[in-house]
Amino acid sequence: MAKGITRDRIVAAALDLLDEKGMEGITVRALAARLEVQAPALYWHLRNKQELLDEMATVVMRRVTETLSALPPGETWRDDLATYARVLRAEYLRHRDGARMFSGTRLSDPDVVKAKEAWLARLTEAGFSLAAADDALDIVTAFVVGFVIEEQERNQPRESGSPRYSVDGRDAWLGEGAELVKAAGHVRDDGDARFERHLGVVLAGLAARLEA
């Protein structure tokens, strides 16, 4: 076992590597080089890349839990879920490819998972069945993950003059017709305003389900 190498150090180094290189840059070789050890030394602590990603996601969700625990409850369940969504998005955005990294992971800290108890209690007290409350949390989480994956992809640094997300370039590519599609591209906004609108639609859907 390499002296001084711990699970926490490996995870911290992996998050730094994620910020610099993105998901594709997280390899055993690159991580070992950053920690100045041989690659096999890492396997004393983490069996594979998926286990590493699980630990990285757990660090992010631990921060989410800590932030939320320091905030007072909202006046309604919608306020609570909106706050959860905003905190979750903010934590994903702290890391390059933060939402991609989180997708498909399994949390490794039981205390982080147990924090869901309070959320389920609030939602069931508001009238949701337990299954519907669990669905509500999953739906909001899935929305935030998907939104931020797309958001972060669009915000990645590009080569100067890259037409990848050029609206005018897309119009030319579409050619004649599809005027509404083209116009929608010009009125579309990204970032906070779009997030809040989409979140409002998600919460309205959950409210309609509760009323039904």
Average pLDDT, the chain: 90
The per-residue pLDDT for range 135-163, each reduced to its tens digit, is 999 999 999 999 999 999 887 765 445 56
Q: What is the pLDDT of residue 160?
A: 45
* Alpha-carbon distances of 68 from 51, 74, 104, 169, 188, rounded to whole Å: 26, 11, 22, 42, 31
The per-residue pLDDT for range 101-143, each reduced to its tens digit, is 999 999 999 999 999 999 999 999 999 999 999 999 999 999 9
Residue with tokens 């997708």: 103
Q: What is the pLDDT of residue 171?
A: 86
Q: Tell me if 1-46 shares its fold with 49-211.
A: no
Residue among 53, 148, 135 at smallest CA distance from 91: 148
Q: What is the pLDDT of residue 7?
A: 86
- Residue 172, token pair as written in the block: 């030319």
Cα dihedral sign, 196-81-102-15: positive
pLDDT range class, residue 3, cuts 50, 70, 90: low
pLDDT range class, residue 187, cuts 50, 70, 90: confident
Residue 168 per-residue DSSP state: H
Q: What is the pLDDT of residue 212?
A: 85
**With 80 as the cut, is the pLDDT of residue 190 above it?**
no
The structural architecture, per CATH, of the domain 49-211 is Orthogonal Bundle (1.10)
**With 50 as the cut, is the pLDDT of residue 1 above it?**
no
User: Hey, how many other C-beta atoms are within 10 angstroms of the C-beta on 11?
Assistant: 22
Indicate the domain borders of the chain: 1-46, 49-211
pLDDT range class, residue 189, cuts 50, 70, 90: confident
1-46 adopts what CATH topology? Arc Repressor Mutant, subunit A (1.10.10)
Q: Is the pTM of this model over 0.85?
A: yes
Torsion of CA 41, 96, 85, 48, to 10 degrees: -20
